[in-house]
Structure 1
Amino acid sequence: MRLLVVFLLLVLPVPAAAFERVADRGAFLALVEGKRLTGDGVSLRVGRDGSIAGRGFGFRVTGGWSWQDGYFCRTLQSAIRYFPLNCQVVAVRGDVVRFVADRGAGDVADLRIR
């Protein structure tokens, strides 16, 4: 029996570490304050004061954010587009923060914390 258990442990795939949901504003700020969030043409800083600033696909990006009912709620604006208020689930795994739009039912953006 022990041999079977050891065998199964060796041949079965190990699941990838799961993303853990960020529960509140303080935990979110502990992850991102003073750091850049980067990925696929995007580099942003999220400020304690509710500001968002950086670059996206060659354009300056500005915006604002707040923490509401367990969600990161943000607006963004660039020279070519305005992104209206969207509340997002935030989760983290290692140095990657995941934003899932539309209260967890929408698009996913993974950004590296640097």
Structure 2
Amino acid sequence: MRFIFALAATAVLALSGLPAAAEYARIQSKSDFVAAVNGKKLTRPLVNLQVTSGGVISGKGAVWEVTGTWTWKDGFFCRTLVWGGKDLGYNCQVVMRDGAKIRFTSDKGAGESAVLTLR
């Protein structure tokens, strides 16, 4: 659980019912990522996050506050994250999108994934 709860508790990984990977398209650039998340909330059960174009992550994961910062580096979403006072550290992630679903996969795509809905 690095990103989404590490972006949200990476955020509470319940990956059942994921569409086939072929339905997701990788977000390759910072501008495409910002266009996808700008002004939207990233949600899943018990998770409500906002990722701003200015590099700030904020919200709630379960009942605990989530704060952090992010940058775009070499095609990856790289973030620091604190959840409920616990430092989840720095991690670079692959970001993929399928309509209103956005999937973050930790460790440059080699780790755990979390899917959130853009609202």
Same fold (TM over 0.5): yes
Q: Mean Cα displacement is larger for which, 16-25 or 52-61?
A: 16-25
Q: Determine helix, strand or coil for the equivalent of 1:54.
A: strand
The structure 2 residue matched to 1:53, chosen from 54, 58, 78, is 58
Q: Mean Cα displacement is larger for which, 78-87 or 95-104?
A: 78-87
Structure 1 length-normalised TM: 0.83
Which sections of structure 1, spanning at least 5 residues, go unmatched?
1-14
Q: Relative contact order (C-alpha < 8 Å, sep 6+): which is higher?
A: 2
Larger radius of gyration: 1
Tell me which residue corresponds to 2:118.
113
Residue identity over aligned pairs, in percent, reads: 45
Tell me which residue corresponds to 1:69.
74
Q: Determine helix, strand or coil for the equivalent of 1:83.
A: strand
Task: Name the one with the larger helix percent.
Answer: 1
Shift of residue 79, structure 1, vs aligned partner:
2.4
Tell me which residue corresponds to 1:40.
45
Q: How many residues align?
A: 100
Shift of residue 41, structure 1, vs aligned partner:
1.6
Q: Determine helix, strand or coil for the equivalent of 2:23.
A: coil
Which contiguous aligned blocks of 4+ residues in structure 1 show a shift greater than 4 angstroms? none
